Structure 1
Amino acid sequence: MNNPNTFSFITEDKIQLTMNLYRAKDNRKNVTIIYFHGGGLLYGVSDDLPEIYINKFLDSGYDFLSFDYPLAPEAKLSLILKSAYEEILYYLDNKQDIFGLENNDYILFGRSAGAYLSFMMCNMLINNDILMPKAIISLYGYTRIDEMQFNVPSKHYNKLAQVPEESIKKILSAAPVTYGPINLRFSLYIKARQEGTWVKYLCNEENPAKYSIKDESLKYFPPTILAASTLDPDVPFKASKLLSRIIPESHLITIYGEVHDFDRDTNNSIGISVYDEIVNWLENKI
């Protein structure tokens, strides 16, 4: 894999965000895949996608651009969405002069919370009559944070040792955080899911429906490919299944098992086969 070009962008709220661009060398399609990482919006890093998967996109001729974004609870969901949206606009306004890319065409890709951001960005772009993506790739994603499963204590995470409040205080920062490695901030997510307070970490007392996409809006979305596990302990499988029924030209890849990020283990053939199917699907849609 070729080394990325790194770009910095400062939002209106003075948050510095980093973007890493990997350029396809051969069979260039002049289409950019914009990637948002997962982590429940509480943790995660922009370069978390394993190299083997990035290479599949590059080898197929797609450029790959990863974004970071401010994390909760230091940044509330309204600020996270605003910052990510500004990043998209920055890309669209500067794709040639700064990024050196030749075409407007792009795809939004996210895993888990990153897929949620991809859906929310697409909805905001449509509502503001701005060029929407050619397609969306959603791995174990969702479009609503008012799901019941997100707002009650998780049986899965309550099987783990309880996270003490004191350890959380040591994690939190007084300023916005954009880099949240799993070894430093995952306990924050565990505690939020153990208590059923994850959504409150994101938006305090605001109605989570405000940050959820209505089914009617999804009918205007571009072709979308989704992949999720039937017994996902983090995000209900029904979220992806419902999206596949509502979004036009959508395709759902079903993984049978009790796992969330099925593509984490690159030694497991499931992840490889899913990305192969995604690339093949894109060939027929883009």
Structure 2
Amino acid sequence: MRTICYKKIGGVELLGDFYSTGQVNSPVVVYIHGGGFIWGSRQEIAKEEAERYNQAGFHVFSIDYRLAPETKLAAIAEDILDAIHWLQNEATDVLGIEVPAIAVVGHSAGGYLALLAGAREPKLKAVVSFYGYGDLRADWSTQPSPYYLEKPIVPRKLADHLITDRILTEASVQRRYGLYLYHRQQGSWVQAVTGLDSERDRAELELLCPVESVTSAFPPVMLLHGEQDQDVPCTESLLMAERLHRAGVAHTLVTLPGEDHLFDQQKGKESVRQVLAQELDFLREHLTSV
């Protein structure tokens, strides 16, 4: 594994970990971590997960991006595109590889960012969204969450204490989960991470909704979602699939009965193994046929 800086901004380096197949011209999977835009890091990809992609014939580029609410979502989206553009323009010189094709794979907030990248980068060959979302205007994201209201209420003073006055590119769930929980309980999460009011700024917010940016130019998409997801409702992937279908975009929708958020962490479960095998088949189909 090799760590490189793909972008510098405000005196801060944005890093990516590159896991090589050992071949010069393997396709690249850009791996985007989740964490509600508020926590996470490039190191969240497990070693065995990177090896799974490598063994299937794909390099992996697991990236950091600036975190919210210190950085707003429009700027975070730019980081993802800049990581892709770095691969397209610099990987040959820096890493000594050819990049015949690029896919983005994301989980939760990373799944959202993968879908948004698909809407904005026409040269991508595939997008995989694990329990991601395409609409930031829906009630689940803009109203107090009944699921999170069942958990201990986070006081505003504690939430405010978790916000820094500097750019963050990685943070632990233990450190920042309380901030996410507070905003989901208050129904203020979208406003916190975008800086936009869900009613007053609907036009600007629409630009950040992949579901509103689906055209026939969208790359092939795989959507994976647990039907009992308590964090991001499965309807988000169903809606995205509907829009992709209407636009004539190749896509695969996989929903898992009885499964919640983070279902793919249950590696010993046969249904999960089958789904992960489907993901690799999807990536092979769209990355190795170029």
Q: Same fold (TM over 0.5)?
A: yes
1:11 and 2:8 matched:
yes
Aligned match of 1:55: 51
Following superposition, the deviation at residue 29 of structure 1 comes to 6.2
| Matching residue's letter, 2:20 | R
Following superposition, the deviation at residue 139 of structure 1 comes to 0.4
Aligned match of 1:164: 155
Aligned match of 1:139: 130
Aligned match of 1:266: 267
| Matching residue's letter, 2:43 | D
Following superposition, the deviation at residue 12 of structure 1 comes to 4.3
TM-score of the aligned structures, taking structure 2 as reference length = 0.89
Q: Which of 90, 94, 102 pairs up with 1:94?
A: 90
Count of residue pairs the alignment pairs up: 277
Within-5 A mapping of 1:1-286: 4-25=1-22, 30-126=26-122, 132-206=123-197, 207=201, 208-215=205-212, 217-247=214-244, 248-286=249-287
Following superposition, the deviation at residue 273 of structure 1 comes to 2.4
Bigger shift: 234-243 or 150-159?
A: 234-243
* 4+ runs deviating over 6 angstroms: none
Contact preservation (8 Å) 1:223, 1:249 = yes
Following superposition, the deviation at residue 79 of structure 1 comes to 1.7
Contact preservation (8 Å) 1:11, 1:83 = no
Taking a change above 3 Å as real, the CA distance of residues 219 and 231 of structure 1, as seen in their structure-2 partners, is farther
Taking a change above 3 Å as real, the CA distance of residues 89 and 156 of structure 1, as seen in their structure-2 partners, is same
Bigger shift: 63-72 or 209-218?
A: 209-218
| Matching residue's letter, 1:231 | Q
Following superposition, the deviation at residue 107 of structure 1 comes to 0.6
Taking a change above 3 Å as real, the CA distance of residues 25 and 175 of structure 1, as seen in their structure-2 partners, is same
In 2, the alpha carbon distance for the partners of 1:108 and 1:271 equals 20
For 1:33, what is the secondary structure of its paired residue? Answer: strand
Taking a change above 3 Å as real, the CA distance of residues 29 and 41 of structure 1, as seen in their structure-2 partners, is same
In 2, the alpha carbon distance for the partners of 1:277 and 1:90 equals 28
In 2, the alpha carbon distance for the partners of 1:241 and 1:213 equals 13
How big is each residue's C-alpha offset from its partner over 1:163-201, in whole Å with a ceiling of 9 and x where there is no partner? Answer: 122322332111011111111111111111111110011
Q: What do you get for the CA RMSD once the two structures are aligned? A: 1.9
| Matching residue's letter, 2:238 | K
Contact preservation (8 Å) 1:262, 1:270 = no
Taking a change above 3 Å as real, the CA distance of residues 47 and 270 of structure 1, as seen in their structure-2 partners, is farther
Bigger shift: 10-19 or 94-103?
A: 10-19
Is there any run of 5+ residues in structure 1 with no aligned partner, and where? 127-131
Following superposition, the deviation at residue 64 of structure 1 comes to 0.6
TM-score of the aligned structures, taking structure 1 as reference length = 0.90
Bigger shift: 198-207 or 210-219?
A: 210-219
In 1, the alpha carbon distance for the partners of 2:273 and 2:45 equals 13
Following superposition, the deviation at residue 280 of structure 1 comes to 1.9
| Matching residue's letter, 1:21 | F
Taking a change above 3 Å as real, the CA distance of residues 265 and 170 of structure 1, as seen in their structure-2 partners, is farther
Contact preservation (8 Å) 1:57, 1:63 = yes
In 2, the alpha carbon distance for the partners of 1:11 and 1:258 equals 39
Contact preservation (8 Å) 2:105, 2:129 = yes
Aligned match of 1:129: none
| Matching residue's letter, 2:21 | A
How big is each residue's C-alpha offset from its partner over 1:145-180, in whole Å with a ceiling of 9 and x where there is no partner? Answer: 112210011111111101122322332111011111
How big is each residue's C-alpha offset from its partner over 1:102-131, in whole Å with a ceiling of 9 and x where there is no partner? Answer: 1231111101111111121222223xxxxx
Bigger shift: 30-39 or 241-250?
A: 241-250
| Matching residue's letter, 2:4 | F
Following superposition, the deviation at residue 9 of structure 1 comes to 3.2
